[in-house]
Structure 1
């Protein structure tokens, strides 16, 4: 491909160029890239015309474009509140985590030996949440506060089996966005929600659970002890949505008897980001840990007895439990959870308390001034939010905006004022002036916390929150943790279905600009013109790429995109009077979250068998369509399939489902193999979700942030997620699935990627992704059989290495190979998914030929070690494969007595003598950790030999 100067970024993003492409094509037996792609990708799905997108632009040009967009946003002092607060991200955390590829390019820590740094950081997060909420189990983050409350409601309904059919009661003083999201979940699953003023007591009737908020939507701090006790007396469970900063000063939910606490950790150093991404939290009482949604970090030991972190209870992961999953959460907000945890480490308990007291005192000062001027306050007990009655709220809002401050218009006669870490005395004085209070002495003279709500218990007592005092210590701590991990800044991460590709610095640069990062999601629309223009343009570009009629970027993870897409299908059927259409067909090869999302959308699931070649079994599909044609709602197809092949009959499958009255959901997780080559909206899809954190370059962040927008055909456009106006109206009954524009803060990354690549560059990326995967498959097939192939023995963008016969012969498992790759400095491919005993490899287009050859060399060397087992050089239990990975402590042990040399253990190929990664721990005992669940920071003594 000849690059114009404006498309020079394409050459920076794509690894192989020129002669390297020719070398790979020669290995495969093709003379040109187009000849190869025409053979690999089925002709009947191929686009006839190139993407109608603007020509790619340079990094400098696109950064200038982003600056113009950012400058269209109006920066104000944000005192709107409603669950979002301004905060100061400590520069040492901004530079060393949020802007550091060692952290933001890491993958979910499923391989614990190469993830000890991010696992420790997430364990810090869990410990922080457990301490502040006074509940003994917390997970490693959820997506946002509103959906976290929805997860808590579902958890209560699962766990309270005696009240399984009873209603859930939401306090009317919850944030409106929370109520809207929970109502949407309840509607999908057909259970009753009642919104009631719980300050007046519980409503009549059977109750499964109640949800309270502390402080409430109107800012009120309320002693919930009595209503919690009353709920327990009637057999109901209790969730409290609690402000994480307020918990340094007020009685914790666990101390008031709550079963579950949820909330947002955004105000712990995470920018406003126009509403997200922000890490939500959830913590639970003992006995609920096995129903906890999301990921739980725990402590086990490695093969030398050293304490080691790992993800616990991984059988709950949705690709395993499928339709029996308790949640469809896959990607969470790990990077933001890590940021929040390090904010707590940086400030310590005393520092957090100082910030909370200062925030509270500013609110008290405002309340003192307003009440002293004879104004009516909505509540006298509050933490950071004062609501005041006025003659005309709009007049006050406008005066405040003119003075540089955004306030909340609660209703026509009520204004909300929320203080935060960024509030200053000057802001407080300006507020007084806005309300016409002149010359008054400003100071906190009343409105102290009610004595019964004052926190008396300790929190954050672990040494990690009390020993890092200086920036030097903090910088070195963050570096020490990142050095324990393998991320994309060190090595290829060849994970099938996960698309770990380049996240360029130019794409990342703008997200921390204040003009983007400091904008409140409920700021007036005329202040957010830049954000809205960027979002509208991104949606338009994604619409062109997918071939659909409309796109919504609201879903803040791929799992939430699946859920939103299935809700659109469900609501479409309902609008046609086809309420009985509730059955979702899912191929056995589908992504695991597909089935979980279908269940959450109120659908029944039937699995369609896989044929011998990895495609959908046509006979089984026909039989199941025929048997369920009157109730068929949808089929969910991943394309290319999770087996790494282009099913040639995809149009035929779509036609069969449509003929039976169903809709076709095409999972876009593998879009990296078809962007610019085919459009799901044109070859039979009615709806697709996209993974912006895969195909469109938002980095994985150790497990999030993700964005999962959905594209839909014309007839489904009316059923896209509810409006993002901030009013939370259920547009024609269509629910919101997350807050406002979801994870808006990271959308500039994908916008920049698409804009710099242009249509031609995006198509080239897909072609090279396919080429790289086929080159690996061709080079490795004599060592490891490729499980599934398509036309002419070609694969799509990933290939499955079948180790099952070798395992039967040698005893060497796919897990052994995954752990041994660590010694070569590689993250493992996807292990035992979608087929047990296999490895799924996806190199992406960003990996150059040299890195690909390094991976091939490692795999060939490992195959040689398997031959050594076959030859009897050592038993499998004594082999470097079963004893991998090898730590420094292991190889410097003077008592080395293994059947293989230290050289073979640590330096199996010569290049490792120059750049060698040693894992912090040896092979981790996951099962042992599950039996002895420890999910908070262990004491330092645990690490003593």
Structure 2
């Protein structure tokens, strides 16, 4: 007997669901004798062999974790006083354990199906209430990507709504965070908006501007009274956005009370680790009159079919998949998981606890300032909340060196000034260490004496006098027992990957392995400031460099930027690279973007943001790009053709045979090819977009590469480019160039990049290829099992699909009156999240099982779909009433089950349509939600306690 003494890599088999015997049985169902034979029949001959991924076997979980731990150890964790929008914070242990590290929360999908999302919708409603209360504005969204991109959204928001229609100029205060100004410039230039940075206090004439952005408190610490400034802009018909610090707003007059039109900012310091820049939830709040133009998602209160309070995403007609190039934003991913952490931070601490944190932080700042002045260290501003700027003159460089020698990072304001920002984690000992640093041998002030005599640095006229967070949810769960049970109660309302398969087409809801998630909460990754000196972040430098190389190998591209912190940001960065490339060749007039009619709505929305004009190309009856129409439009617009945006495999779940020809047509007419990476899970290890014609692709690391969806975010959307586009990747001041920055931090959502590094390291080239093959096998197995019950709408030349399939339910509406919505809601009774509804074709279901689902789970889903078809047949033949049937009334709640039963079908058929459900039943907390009622009676903050308790 030979024993393998090496460390076995069992991860591939842990990640991939079907066992070898299942694989053979599924292949036999499809008529193939091997995985390679099936793959050969699916991948078009023209792109076979384009993959440049290696064939290594990967590493075990233990080995990969050990290797990553060694990399993390190269990061140096200094005491950070850099501030600039990023602060140390304590993540409460019950939130860390029961939310951030809990798959019931981090594996959930965007709450588009509200009946199975009531828990996370409630957490997001709490977030919206928190933001609305602290900012003094009545409407807040359910989070944006980061403060800088929220500011950019505010700028375009002001442009849409300002009455100063003739102006293309936007004023940005010189007191804004530098990274915010950089992103503003990036976003403004393609839209023809001129950003003027200046001192608002010295601005006499506001008439040239359609809007303005102010920082409160200022980036360098001062607190300005903006009431007169806001009035000046309003008199000029301009709108005013204020970037405000949430913790400071517990003590300062909120922006809504001095007539600001918009408040934006970051919720990071509410319990979310620094994470080298992200992910962090941004917020956006505005006036009620502007709610339909607000970017991002909005949670609203509605009712279910019994009149019970129920939550949902409101006003979905604003979404980019409906409005396309006329959408308010291209944002698809939010920062839901991080917004939920921030909301629970507020729930746990309550209003008084938040004020205590703010008051303690401010008191230490005031004591620090008084001590520094006593030692003749010039403090620039007389007002401050938590940040001081010190005039250090010629001693500045030496002070930074001395501070780093003591394990301290100060903010590098300029050659003659340093900044010091305190936070929740600062202690009296830290203040004394700072005195010692700046005192240059002087006698230390007496801390206790100063603490007893120190006043406030907050302006009396700007002290907050209004109350906030009075709702019971923020005043009950202050013990760990109560919070733990509250989080469990919310999680029990939801359906996530920890309960069942989520077969969403184009969304790739695969396993988020525990070994991939563990490093996210390591201090070496979580506690590093994004603007820490490069020599302190060598671990991150190695991680990002290695990950970029891994993604280049997976895609066939030559360079990668990890900065975009969502797929929408990746799309945008990709088109900006194309735009800059054309301009470098004196072809800046190229502004036409060809987009197939089947494309996801983010594509045309992004093209519009990049200053391009969208020209739609047709698709044929099989869902493929109509090559003749594409060629005709490429030739027609050849002088102005900038790009083609195409998803591959197609949005219809098929490997289009003509992809090489399509790329050639665009290139021959002077354009560049952007290949949307949403469906990359069908290609890794099998074919490479960078080798078969793509010039740039964005990748959804929260799809193909295992970063979890978190209930709707975080996401990461890096872009891969060919070498000629590499010079035009996003820049950042922290990387030596601010030009082209698309988000606030140089590496975007850096702290979740270890998830993808771990996945690729453990799978290796061989495992990644096998994952793609198994994703294709699982999708074709479902298609084959269901095709006799529901038509499969699109297939490739061999009658096979890629990694997803589309079932056509439109004939059923004609024969029975049953709609795709009815089937989606009925699946809840079977314990499943519905597949993607009515995209890319109305009245269809798009199913993507991924490689992580076992044959047993695939069969369970197929059995549910077959049984639902039998129920529809019963409606068709009159056995079930066309209006009173299990589909029209789905989903069924436990409350309905024990109440008066007046239906023409049994309770058992309603809730136990298959025997296996008796042993494991998911009970939706509400019945079908009334979307129309919710939009007509919009409530988007915590309702009254009576209705709140009913949810």
Q: TM-score normalised to the size of structure 2?
A: 0.98
Displacement, 1:7?
A: 3.2
Displacement, 1:194?
A: 0.6
CA distance in 2, matches of 1:430, 1:735: 35
- 1:905 paired with 2:910, answer yes
- 1:171 paired with 2:165, answer no
| Paired position in structure 2 for 1:623 | 632
8 A Cα contact 1:177 1:728, kept in partner: no
| Paired position in structure 1 for 2:488 | 479
8 A Cα contact 1:687 1:710, kept in partner: yes
| Paired position in structure 1 for 2:99 | 97
| Secondary structure class of the residue paired with 2:91 | coil
CA distance in 1, matches of 2:407, 2:640: 56
Displacement, 1:47?
A: 2.2
- Residues 437-476 of structure 1 mapped to structure 2, 5 A cutoff: 437-442=442-447, 443-444=450-451, 445-476=454-485
Displacement, 1:327?
A: 0.2
Point out the more displaced range, 289-298 or 737-746.
737-746
CA distance in 2, matches of 1:47, 1:738: 39
| Paired position in structure 2 for 1:800 | 806
CA distance in 2, matches of 1:374, 1:49: 65
| One of 905, 910, 932 as aligned partner of 1:927 | 932
8 A Cα contact 2:207 2:233, kept in partner: no
Q: 1:683 to 1:361 in 2, by over 3 A?
A: same
| Paired position in structure 1 for 2:848 | 842
Count of aligned pairs: 939
Displacement, 1:78?
A: 1.3
| Paired position in structure 2 for 1:634 | 643
| Paired position in structure 2 for 1:609 | 618
- 1:74 paired with 2:83, answer no
| One of 34, 37, 40 as aligned partner of 1:35 | 37
CA distance in 2, matches of 1:202, 1:306: 54
8 A Cα contact 2:363 2:456, kept in partner: no
Displacement, 1:204?
A: 5.7
8 A Cα contact 1:555 1:738, kept in partner: no
The CA deviation string for residues 399-443 of structure 1, in whole angstroms up to 9 with x for no partner, is 222222211111111110000000000100000000124331123
- 1:774 paired with 2:783, answer no
8 A Cα contact 1:6 1:55, kept in partner: no
The CA deviation string for residues 336-361 of structure 1, in whole angstroms up to 9 with x for no partner, is 00000000000000000000001111
| Paired position in structure 2 for 1:145 | 147
Point out the more displaced range, 651-660 or 407-416.
407-416
| Paired position in structure 2 for 1:753 | 759
8 A Cα contact 2:663 2:673, kept in partner: yes
8 A Cα contact 1:321 1:592, kept in partner: yes
| One of 361, 372, 393 as aligned partner of 2:374 | 372
CA distance in 2, matches of 1:724, 1:509: 31
CA distance in 2, matches of 1:233, 1:844: 56
- Residues 647-686 of structure 1 mapped to structure 2, 5 A cutoff: 647-686=656-695
- Residues 509-658 of structure 1 mapped to structure 2, 5 A cutoff: 509-658=518-667
- Residues 40-439 of structure 1 mapped to structure 2, 5 A cutoff: 40-47=42-49, 51-52=53-54, 55-163=57-165, 165-203=167-205, 205-390=207-392, 391-436=394-439, 437-439=442-444
8 A Cα contact 2:51 2:686, kept in partner: no
| Secondary structure class of the residue paired with 2:288 | coil
Q: 1:41 to 1:168 in 2, by over 3 A?
A: same
- 1:811 paired with 2:817, answer yes
Q: 1:211 to 1:305 in 2, by over 3 A?
A: same
Displacement, 1:50?
A: 5.6
Q: 1:237 to 1:48 in 2, by over 3 A?
A: closer
Q: 1:307 to 1:379 in 2, by over 3 A?
A: same
CA distance in 2, matches of 1:925, 1:49: 48
| Secondary structure class of the residue paired with 1:488 | coil
Point out the more displaced range, 519-528 or 762-771.
519-528
CA distance in 2, matches of 1:113, 1:785: 27
| Secondary structure class of the residue paired with 2:687 | coil
Structural RMSD (CA): 1.3
Displacement, 1:791?
A: 2.1
The CA deviation string for residues 652-691 of structure 1, in whole angstroms up to 9 with x for no partner, is 0000000000000000000000000010000000000000
The CA deviation string for residues 587-616 of structure 1, in whole angstroms up to 9 with x for no partner, is 111111011111001101011111011100
Q: 1:626 to 1:106 in 2, by over 3 A?
A: same
| Paired position in structure 2 for 1:700 | 709
Point out the more displaced range, 42-51 or 829-838.
42-51
Q: 1:166 to 1:48 in 2, by over 3 A?
A: closer
| Secondary structure class of the residue paired with 1:162 | coil
Displacement, 1:728?
A: 5.2
Displacement, 1:724?
A: 5.5
Displacement, 1:446?
A: 3.6
CA distance in 2, matches of 1:784, 1:926: 27
Displacement, 1:63?
A: 0.7
Unaligned runs of 5+ in 2: none
CA distance in 1, matches of 2:324, 2:51: 38
8 A Cα contact 2:125 2:142, kept in partner: yes
Displacement, 1:316?
A: 1.2
Unaligned runs of 5+ in 1: none
8 A Cα contact 1:302 1:922, kept in partner: yes
